[in-house]
Chain A
Amino acid sequence: MVSPAVPLLVLGLIDASFSGFRAYAGRDARIRKRRAVVRSAGRGLGVGAVLLLAPVLTACGILAVAGDSGRAYAVLAAGAVGYLLPIAVYAAVVALSFAGYFLLPFRVSTLAVVMGLGPLTLVRPLVLVAACAGAVLNGGGWAGLAVGVVAAAAVLTVEPVVHRRWYRFALSPGGRGVVR
């Protein structure tokens, strides 16, 4: 059976790619910018891969200091399942919104933006709070909560890190930033 940590990591890395895109979006007024978009997603992925080591190391630390590592693993696995549930629902809604946005005619695709993608960006922190609650409620205990909080912090940190590192330049008439 696949550890629940695997889908969580995959979703975390996908989210990191989108965070990289969001960090870039709104900083480049060119019309043709597909390459820059892909680059920003890659930057998000890279930063996310590093930051997501934090919850992995936290979980490893908990397992290392636990007297009964088998039981500690079971508790963490239960917490991970509880953590995964709200995130999986959120990811499914996001995926549905994206499908609507890219596949439907432009007028209907606005609906996917207005009802989906815009509000979904805003509720990300709430989804992570729900995920932490899910970890506790599903038997993850304090250990599951600790790993969940660290993971949530890591996920929410990707966008500001990418923005500060690559896209926080001054757009001034005298010295405009050029997005690469």
Chain B
Amino acid sequence: MSPLEISDLITAVDPDSGRRLPVRRADVTRRLLENGDRRAARIVADLPVDGDGVLDPDAVDALLIGVHTELQRLSEELRIGDRMLELLRPLFAAIRATGTHPGPYRLVDVGCGLGYVVRRLAATGALGPDVELVGVDLDGGLVGEAERLARDEELDCRFVRGNAFDLAEPATVYVSTGVLHHFSAPALADFFRAKAASPAAAFCHFDIAANGLAPIGAWVFHRARMRHPLGRHDGVASARRAHPDETLLRAATVPGMNPLIFEPRGRSNPFCTTLRPVIGVRPELEAPFRRELGRAARRLAGPGWESGGGPGSDRGSGNGSGWGIGRGRESGSGWGSGRGRESGGGSDGGLVVDGSGGAVGGEGAW
């Protein structure tokens, strides 16, 4: 059974209206017990409820903000901002150089949670003044806190509650951190297809590097750095749910985008690479992107790399051949939360991205 993350279960949002839905504590604990996770059920059983047994939304928001804040510390320590910049700088340089996407540009962080990446990019100005920085999340509590933090430091970025794909203005580049493992393999493909169908030039989604060390590392770091048991629990669950490189590359193989993975297994030291991204670029961007990356381009891999293909298999041909190593994941039938997580669309059948699960998954979870 695939582990469940508590933070995915204790909030629910109507994906159409964005309205918060009530979540009954007993439903969550039953779901966790059915999944064999007594510890998680005990953590949820301690959360406050009203007279009808519905989880107190303010308490849940406060908890998730607290866990996200602790999680940001991990992102800082593991230098997720630097890792993101290592790729985004050359990516935007390539976009500017090709001229196929005239500026100004827009970077959208999908499931941004507290918006650490967006706020850090804004604080450093590293992408240049022609890149607008936007964070999007379905969780109103997290978006509100992200906005407050940005205002507090007078950062030039903004945060929007809602679906990243419903934005009035399209993104030039979509990014995320620790969101992908919240999707089942079929839902991942929908996620990437939506990117390809948009006018975006590229996407760059970081998630936990799936290797044998990840759950152990997650345990050590969440034990050492996080105080709330929810954060500790979900951090390890995230690592156990992480998608292998092959699954991510296969899902990202969508028409109109060349899929690439940076620092896949075998081309990175697992002690140095805790999170790695799956990248999609428009075909005309791949060569300039590799050029801009310089020597780091050798860390890129495309479809066919895992089967030991030659250099040609490493160029993101997008033919989908050479798979067969991915271990697959539960497809699930929806969590009843109305958020469409882990279910290929869940009850709404749409594609909804919410970073509140990113409390543990988002913003650099192990």
**A-to-B contact residues, CB < 8 Å:** 25-32, 106-111, 113-115, 117-119, 121-122, 170-174, 176
CA–CA, A140 and B61, complex, Å: 52
**CB-based contact B225/A173 at 8 Å:** no
Is B347 close to A, CB under 8 A? no
Q: Which chain B residues border A106 with CB–CB below 8 Å?
A: 79, 82-83, 86
CA–CA, A108 and B273, complex, Å: 9
**CB-based contact B224/A28 at 8 Å:** no
**CB-based contact B123/A31 at 8 Å:** yes
**CB-based contact B273/A31 at 8 Å:** no
Which of A32, A114, A170 contacts B271 (CB under 8 A)?
A: A114
Q: Provide 29 A-B residue pairs closer than 8 Å at the C-beta atoms, listed in order of the A residue.
A: A25-B225, A26-B69, A26-B226, A26-B227, A28-B69, A29-B69, A29-B116, A30-B149, A31-B123, A32-B123, A106-B79, A106-B82, A106-B83, A107-B272, A107-B273, A108-B272, A109-B79, A110-B78, A113-B77, A118-B221, A118-B224, A119-B224, A171-B65, A172-B58, A173-B61, A173-B65, A173-B141, A174-B58, A176-B145
Is B68 close to A, CB under 8 A? yes
**CB-based contact B69/A27 at 8 Å:** yes
B153, B217, B220, B272 pick with most chain A CB within 10 angstroms: B272
**B-to-A contact residues, CB < 8 Å:** 58-59, 61-62, 65-66, 68-70, 72-73, 77-79, 82-83, 86, 114, 116, 119-120, 123, 141, 144-145, 148-149, 152-153, 155, 217, 220-221, 223-227, 269, 271-274
Q: Which chain B residues border A111 with CB–CB below 8 Å?
A: 269, 271-272
Q: Which chain B residues border A108 with CB–CB below 8 Å?
A: 272
Residue of A nearest to B213 (CB): A114
Q: Which chain A residues border B226 with CB–CB below 8 Å?
A: 26
CA–CA, A18 and B271, complex, Å: 24
Q: Which chain A residues border B272 with CB–CB below 8 Å?
A: 107-108, 110-111, 114
A29, A107, A173 pick with most chain B CB within 10 angstroms: A29
Given contacts A30-B153, A31-B119, contact A114 B65 (CB under 8 A): no
CB distance from B358 to the nearest CB of A (A): 13
CA–CA, A121 and B279, complex, Å: 34
CB distance from B297 to the nearest CB of A (A): 15
CB distance from A166 to the nearest CB of B (A): 14
- What are the 7 A-B residue pairs with the smallest beta carbon separation, nearest first? A172-B62, A26-B70, A26-B73, A121-B224, A31-B123, A171-B66, A106-B82
CA–CA, A172 and B66, complex, Å: 8
Q: Which chain B residues border A174 with CB–CB below 8 Å?
A: 58
**CB-based contact B221/A115 at 8 Å:** no
Q: Which chain B residues border A176 with CB–CB below 8 Å?
A: 65, 145, 148
CA–CA, A76 and B326, complex, Å: 61
